Amino acid sequence: MKHAGRYREIAMALARHGFGYMVEEMGLFQLLSLPRKWLARETPESKTLGERIRLVLEDLGPAFIKLGQLASTRADLLPEPIIRELIKLQDQVSSFSPEMARGILEQELDTSLESILTRFDDVPLAAASIGQVHLGKLHSGEMVAIKIQRPGVNRIIRRDLDILRELTAMAAKRWEWVKRYQLREMVEELGKSLIQELDYNHEARNTEKIALQFEQDPHIYIPKIYWDHTSSRILTMEFLDGIHVGNREVLLHHGYNLKELAQRLVNSMLHQIFIEGFFHADPHPGNLLVLKNGSLAYLDFGMTGRLNEGMKDHLASLIIALMRKNTDAMVRAIERLGLVKPDTDLNALRTDLDKIREEYSDVPFSQVSIGDALNDLFGAAQRHRIGLPSDVLLLGKALLTLEGVVELLDPDLSIIALAEPFGNKLLKERFSSRRIRDKLLGGATELVETLIELPRQARHLSSIISKGKLKLEITVPELEQLLRKLDQISNRLSFSIVLLAFSIIMVGLIIGSSLNHQATMLWNVPAIEVGFVVALLMVAFLLYSIFKSGRF
């Protein structure tokens, strides 16, 4: 009831785009007293399922749009046609007033705007669902871009996340496909990512981490963060004046070498992924600038991915195996990358991977899309219920986005060709003498530490045994069920014995009363009549329990 108005908006959006049957089956029409005429609306035949899902999300605003954008990274859970539509989701929101922006800035930084800035442009440079960016100038003369969080967006997003959790819980009780696609788990995971994105301190730290990766590279530039003027709702960074990489004609007009820019972009992304293991996960044209000196600048680090050493190695193995068309090696790489369940049919997985390999066998090496190939592999893993780390899936989305940008700059450039040296380098490092030595030393150190701890652990165990405090835990599902049944039987048996004893006492009272020819009274209470009622209730309860158990 607290969010009834918002539930109505969601129900209206679903009905408007042909999902009224879902609203009815979840019981929202009755719960919200919605007009039945909505159900008469026909499903728009001209639009695909993916298009209609995208339109619903766009109608419902910031939280749903952001969740849709994050869901577009989950090629392991959602079908490809839906993923393609979710990638198109755009933040089409109007900017909030400059007075409100100034007020938030002063409130968050606990000082007057004039004490920080000598200039503040009222018209924002950009506006999105979570915040908008204003141009400003510090007293030191430096131009800055100030990202200010939209008022109330934190509360709105948390409210919508609560509603989404409730809706997916309701849907999971009615449709099997909701469980199969793990929508509840997806909402939880994406919700955590979205809440994290609401904290601009998180984005500022990500920016500095990426900046450290390119300290010695003059061709890649990351804007500076002004921590004194940054908070959870305000992000102040260096303003960069350049041309977005999507403006191909403008770049050509200014004489930039597009082929060189494309190679620089790809190499910088592959360096982040395979060497550093921490990467910008949303490299779309709006987040990439070409500066006057020709260097490439990254913007907006709200969405990043992280790969540990093991994940980098296995990912490299997967790409090399795909390139060499080695199915067994692909299976091994996916096994190591993901969480393989005991009932996973690896032979069926191998058959699926053979089909993927055959699809790429006739495609020239330079024309293979690394993003599509990885997402095909991740989709095969999902079909066989192999759970993959979310950062690995985020990587697939980032590579697809990257390929779209590269196609604008240099359609002939092959990302997979540039990725091969990085993959080979990782594989060589894995079996290098230094890596093997480090692993052996690490294993030996751990073994020695275990041996050193062994006497202390033995003394501790001996002390527990001598005090009689040793506990043995055995977990067997069937045993637990049997014990629960035995407990029920013993309780009912005890109840029956008590009922029998009570009945014997009542019979004794009745016989005594008949011999004396007078009513039996205990503390002025007719004992036989009261006892008869109690016995009748106990018998009724016992019979009800037996019939309810279904084991009469």
Active site residues: 282
Which sign, positive or negative, has the C-alpha torsion 101, 105, 111, 117?
negative
Measured distance CA(3)–CA(31) in Å, rounded: 12
Radius of gyration of the chain (CA): 33
- Residue-level length of the chain: 552
Measured distance CA(298)–CA(294) in Å, rounded: 13
Query: 3-class DSSP state for residue 211?
Result: helix
Contact 356, 380 (CB under 8 A): yes
Contacts for 492 with CB less than 8 Å, ≥ 6 apart:
542, 545, 546
Q: Is 101 exposed, middle or buried (0-12, 13-18, 19+ CB in 10 A)?
A: buried
47 secondary structure, DSSP code: S
Residue 22: C-alpha distances to residues 38, 161, 539 (Å): 12, 19, 47
96 secondary structure, DSSP code: P
Contact 260, 247 (CB under 8 A): no
339 secondary structure, DSSP code: B
Nearest CA-CA partner of 112 in 120, 122, 121, 102: 102
Which three-class secondary structure string do you get for 509-542? HHHHHHHHCCCCEECCEEHHHHHHHHHHHHHHHH
The full DSSP string for 388-449 is --HHHHHHHHHHHHHHHHHHHH-TT--HHHHHHHHHHHHHHHHTSHHHHHHHHHHHHHHHHH
Cβ neighbour number for residue 493 with a 10 Å cutoff: 10
Contacts for 531 with CB less than 8 Å, ≥ 6 apart:
502, 505, 506, 509
Query: 3-class DSSP state for residue 6?
Result: helix
Q: What is the rounded (10 degree) CA torsion for 415, 421, 422, 423?
A: 90
Contacts for 29 with CB less than 8 Å, ≥ 6 apart:
11, 23, 36, 38, 39
- Residue 16 tokens read as 């408007």
Beta-bridged to residue 278, according to DSSP, are 306
Nearest CA-CA partner of 285 in 174, 158, 401, 172: 401
